[in-house]
Amino acid sequence: MGAEAAPPVAAAVVGVGALGRHHARLLAATPGARLAAVVDSDLARAREIAAGLGVPALASCEELPADVRAISVAVPTSLHHRLVMPLLRRGLHVLVEKPMAASLAEAREMAAAAASAGLVLHVGHVERFNPVLRAMEELDIRPRFIEAQRLAPFTYRALDVSVVMDLMIHDLDIVMELAGAPLAHLDASGVPVLGRRVDLASARLSFENGCVANVTASRVSFEPLRKTRVFGEHAFVSLDFSTRRAFVVTAAPGFELASLTSADAERIPPKASFREFIAQGLLETREIDMQEANPLALELAAFIAEVRGERPAVGAARGPAAGRDAAPRGVDAAAGLRAMEVAEAVTAAIAARRWS
């Protein structure tokens, strides 16, 4: 007879608002996990979510059942440190939403506490689990230029942090991952529009390997947009994180990118578009459709897998071509800290720019 399968990990969700309720729903269906409770300071809301999942509703973490081993924390950023530190001291593994904490000092204290206790601490950079990034890994493109735009209509969610920590941090994490080299220089600007914190920001990052990235984030846009364009030596990729589609353009055999001169004007139609280059057979395209995956479900599965000792997480040292295994791995505290460090540098650059 084979060895018995390990029992499911008893897990709970703290904060079941707009995002946390999805954590609870998906965690209840995550292989290897058993949802044991949901926690929210608004007990009525906790009871509403708990009733649909058949678990207890609790008003505080002090009421958590003794067998709970893993916690998903989806509360406002300002509360991350205050809630996560006692959970770590209790010996619980934690997945905390991004940004990791309200300040770099708090994030470092959380990371140190988890490391000292040998506990799993994942950070919810859910875009790492978006399947369009898998296309980049498969193509093995070395980026020369990256353009990332993340625009959203205004909501009252996350007004306790700037748009840099709220939205741009997703793309800062992705850009650092794709660039595959240390950051050499950055410049940034931004302004508050409706709230007291910056609502619209733009940053330019230069890396030691020559790669350059322009990153824009807004939470006062009329229409949502989540796109990243990556230009490499031999290919161009447009990644749409909303539709989960990747559009790849490569040179056809016999044609070399970045090779056209004025002498080629006779064989290229005036005002030629990409479509005309494709029609002439100079460029080849393919579209990758990866609609089937749920990034948040994958993120929770990766968290539970590491808690069970089945899969290690990835850290900040991971390169763009690494980790091409079947299932994505969780984002550990080192990667969460790196994203926060770059976000804080962007915030400082914005603060240093004086508007006349």
CB 144 within 8 A of CB 232: yes
CATH number for 129-292+344-352 (one of 3.30.465.10, 3.40.50.720, 3.90.190.20, 3.30.360.10): it is 3.30.360.10
CB 145 within 8 A of CB 127: no
What's the rounded Cα separation, in Å, for the pair 189 and 199? 11
Strand 93-97 to 121-124 pairing: parallel
Give the range among 227-231, 286-290, 333-337 with minimum mean pLDDT. 286-290
Question: Would you tell me how many other CB atoms lie within 10 Å of the CB of residue 4?
Answer: 6
- Length of the chain equals 356
Q: Where are the domains of the chain?
A: 9-128+295-329, 129-292+344-352
Identify which has the larger pLDDT, 271 or 348. 348
Say what the pLDDT of residue 320 is.
Answer: 39
CB 251 within 8 A of CB 236: no
CB 9 within 8 A of CB 308: yes
Say what the pLDDT of residue 21 is.
Answer: 96
pLDDT tens track for 310-319: 877 665 544 4
What's the rounded Cα separation, in Å, for the pair 333 and 116? 13
What's the rounded Cα separation, in Å, for the pair 267 and 276? 11
What's the rounded Cα separation, in Å, for the pair 182 and 179? 8
Mean pLDDT value across residues 300-324: 70
For residue 128, give the nearest of 320, 281, 347 by alpha carbon: 320
pLDDT tens track for 75-134: 999 999 999 999 999 999 999 999 999 999 999 999 999 999 999 999 999 988 887 777
Mean pLDDT value across residues 204-219: 97
Tokens of 7: 């029992």
What's the rounded Cα separation, in Å, for the pair 197 and 178? 28
| Half-sphere exposure of residue 248: CA atoms within 13 angstroms, side-chain side | 19
Fold match flag (9-128+295-329 vs 129-292+344-352): no
| Half-sphere exposure of residue 98: CA atoms within 13 angstroms, side-chain side | 32
CB 107 within 8 A of CB 101: yes
pLDDT tens track for 147-192: 999 999 988 776 778 999 989 999 999 999 899 899 999 999 999 9
Say what the pLDDT of residue 1 is.
Answer: 45
CB 95 within 8 A of CB 300: yes
Give the range among 123-137, 212-226, 245-259 with minimum mean pLDDT. 245-259
Q: Is pLDDT above 60 for 253?
A: yes
Give the range among 20-24, 104-108, 202-206, 275-279 with minimum mean pLDDT. 275-279
| Half-sphere exposure of residue 19: CA atoms within 13 angstroms, side-chain side | 15
Full-model pTM: 0.84
Q: What is the H or E stretch that residue 235 is in?
A: strand 235-240
Question: Would you tell me how many other CB atoms lie within 10 Å of the CB of residue 212?
Answer: 17
**Rounded to a whole number, what is the distance in angstroms from the first to the last CA of the chain?**
76
CATH number for 9-128+295-329 (one of 3.30.2130.10, 3.20.20.70, 3.40.50.720, 1.10.287.90): it is 3.40.50.720
Residue-averaged pLDDT of the chain: 87
